[in-house]
Amino acid sequence: MTDTSTGQRVSKSDQLMEWEGTLDELISQLGVSWSDCEFEDIRNDIYTVQRDLFALGEEILTEGQGRCLRADGVSWLEDKIKAYQKEIGEIKLFVIPGGSKTSSSLQLSRAVTRRAERRLIELKLSRKINDLIPQYMNRLSSFLFFIALASNKRNNFRERLWEWPNPERTTKKE
């Protein structure tokens, strides 16, 4: 058992604790991405996201009685996605993570974000959660994808693409 920030005792296997642990992992992984990153603008954006994640975590843990996700958090992510998307250009196929150390670290952060989003949706089944928070988590994974690609482009790494559907497989109708 463990205590929540509201004084409630819950099992360490409680959905709230699973969410909190995954959020902690995400914030920490973003710290690794921040440390790996050589681009000041991307580092600043990662730091902003870390602060947002602390605030939205507090909002959930205190049931809205503490700091909360800023109202413009989702629109900020969407604006950043557009800017980085413009920088990297069109992506037509699936990208295989890799390239620069920064990009690889950001892709891992993106994968942890997607798990955190799934834990959040599970938690939302039993707790009232601000609708902006799932939206933020959803847009965050896209944001991290685009800054990972921008990092590779800036470091002159060419993306490795996964072709879909399989070009070697032919479907014949008989």
Domain of residue 44, residue span: 12-162
On the question of pLDDT at 3 being above 70, the answer is no
pLDDT tens per residue, range 38-70: 999 999 999 999 999 999 999 998 888 889 999
Is 72 a member of any domain? yes
Q: What is the pTM of this model?
A: 0.88
On the question of pLDDT at 172 being above 60, the answer is no
Is 5 a member of any domain? no
Is 52 a member of any domain? yes
The CATH number for 138's domain is: 1.20.1200.10
pLDDT tens per residue, range 118-168: 999 999 999 899 999 999 999 999 999 999 999 999 999 988 878 776 666
Is 6 a member of any domain? no
- Please return the burial class of 114, using the count of CB atoms within 10 Å of its CB with bins 0-12, 13-18 and 19+: middle
* Domain count for the chain: 1
On the question of pLDDT at 174 being above 60, the answer is no
Report the SS3 class of residue 11: coil
Strands 94-96 and 160-162: what pairing? antiparallel
Is 82 a member of any domain? yes
Is 121 a member of any domain? yes
Q: What are phi and psi of 9, to 5 degrees?
A: -95, 130
Is 148 a member of any domain? yes
On the question of pLDDT at 83 being above 90, the answer is yes
